[in-house]
Structure 1
Amino acid sequence: MAHYRASESKREQFRRYLEKSGVLDTLTSILVALYEEPDKPNNALDFIKLHLGAAGPDPADVEALRTEISELQQKCEALTEENNELKNKLMQCEPAPEEKPAE
């Protein structure tokens, strides 16, 4: 019987910890939102993850961003190369600056 009371005490401490840290309120509000949802989602766990912010990015979005990064890196490299070429052409067209004699 003493073992039962010890574990009950630990449960009560854990419950108070969850309550004090706001976990119970957050979970309750998410479950209420799920309950009040007119069109229940097919996957309740995904709904909860989404509302907790733990769902993470959509894999399609991640792939699109990776593609965009790759394209932008290639464009940046091409523009850097073009910039260097234009600088070289400009240096060839401009006369060398003449040094003024010291007065």
Structure 2
Amino acid sequence: MTQQGAALQTYNNELVKCIEELCSKREQLNRQIQQEEEEKGRLQHDIRVLTEKLSRVNESLAHRLAARADFDRTIAETEAAYMKILESSQTLLSVLKQETGNLSKATDPRGCN
């Protein structure tokens, strides 16, 4: 019977050792899980912060794009009006030169016979 008792004691020791190893591995796994949960929390926080920042940048960008469109429209209208002024000035100059020529002919003593 002592031989059976010794075998039982050996089995018992091995069982205790296996259980202790399993508990140790479980604790190690638990620490890894805790670290990953903390990292997940940090990443979710970073995502929230970046999402808010992206929203603010998108809003600012939309305002700036609208302002730029207003500038483009104003510049285009001003340039078109300026071109009309230039064309009118050119026409006025041409008419003035023609009238000056006509007046010169009319006042030139050689033009009257």
Q: TM-score surpassing 0.5?
A: no
Which of the two has higher C-alpha Rg?
A: 2
Instruction: Determine which structure has greater relative contact order: mean sequence separation of CA pairs < 8 Å that are 6+ residues apart, divided by chain length.
Output: 1
Structure 1-normalised TM-score?
0.41
TM normalised by structure 2 equals 0.37
Q: Which has the higher helix share?
A: 2
